[in-house]
A and B are shown apart, each in its own frame.
Chain A
Amino acid sequence: MTSRFDDVIIQTVCRILIPFIQIFGLYVIAHGHSSPGGGFQGGVILGASFILLCLSYDIKEMKRRLSRKRAILFSALGVIIYAGIGLLCLLLDGNYLDYGRLHRILPVDPVRARSMGILGIEIGVGMTVMAVMVTIFIDLASEEEKRN
């Protein structure tokens, strides 16, 4: 699981496939407005792409792209983005998570601002889910002596 397993077919296929999986995950997050999907599903797909990187290469290669510390930082940042957008609405004389108030700082009308607020929190949810999936996988799969 964590030791390097050199197989040229698996590594080549995964190296070609992983960018497309990540683009698809970003598409699911960004296109959740008008098609099935959203932050949770897109975040899981993004996390699964990193897990595929770990399975095809080894855990060192994955930690080079997304280290443990950065994963924890991302998972906290997603919750902060979500709660921060809600707090921003509170500061702009609205209720908590009332995205219509964002039209005062965004150059759009209030109805469009609600759509923009939904996109913002989807990005936050996707970040948290992706980072938590990667964190759990690293903690399950890593060996005793390999830290950070």
Chain B
Amino acid sequence: MIWQIDLILLAFVLVCALASLMVKDLLSSAVIFGAYSFFMCILWAEMGAVDVAFTEAAVGAGVSTIFFIVAIVKTTRRTKD
């Protein structure tokens, strides 16, 4: 565990989480959420929990992003607030 890499990854995670909340376009928000999951996955792998990292990469960055995008296609792309 190298604290410089940890700090950079945590900063990326924070930026992705805030951007995913702030962005008006829901499709961009879903894609940024996928990026957030991917940075979380790198963070898990860097901490030594490889199984959790694998699950995060497969479920968080892969399938849940697809489900979000399908839901956006079926409903609306713009958020009201």
Contacts and interface: CB of A to CB of B under 8 A. Distances in A.
Asked if A and B form a direct contact in the complex, defined as CB atoms under 8 angstroms apart, the reply is: yes
Q: Is the interface of A mostly helix, strand, loop or mixed?
A: helix
Interface string B43-81: 000000011011100110011001100110110000000
Contacts of A141: 70, 74
Nearest to B52: A36
A16 interface: no
Interface string A29-41: 0000000111011
B63 A41 contact: no
B73 A137 contact: no
B67 A41 contact: no
Given A47-B63, A51-B63, A137 B58 contact: no
Interface residues of B, number: 15
A137 B67 CA distance: 7
B63 A133 contact: yes
Contacts of A37: 51, 54
Given A44-B58, A48-B62, A51-B63, A36 B70 contact: no
Interface residues of A, number: 17
B51 A36 contact: yes
A137 B54 contact: no
A23 interface: no
Contacts of A55: 66
- Complex A-B, nearest 3 residue pairs according to Cβ-Cβ distance, in ascending order: A36-B50, A44-B58, A140-B70
Interface of B: 50-51, 53-55, 58-59, 62-63, 66-67, 70-71, 73-74
Interface of A: 1, 36-38, 40-41, 44-45, 47-48, 51, 55, 133, 136-137, 140-141
14 contacts: A1-B70, A1-B73, A36-B50, A36-B53, A36-B54, A37-B54, A41-B54, A44-B62, A48-B58, A48-B62, A133-B63, A137-B66, A140-B70, A141-B74
Given A36-B53, A51-B66, 9 more contacts: A1-B70, A41-B55, A44-B62, A45-B58, A48-B66, A51-B63, A137-B66, A137-B67, A140-B70
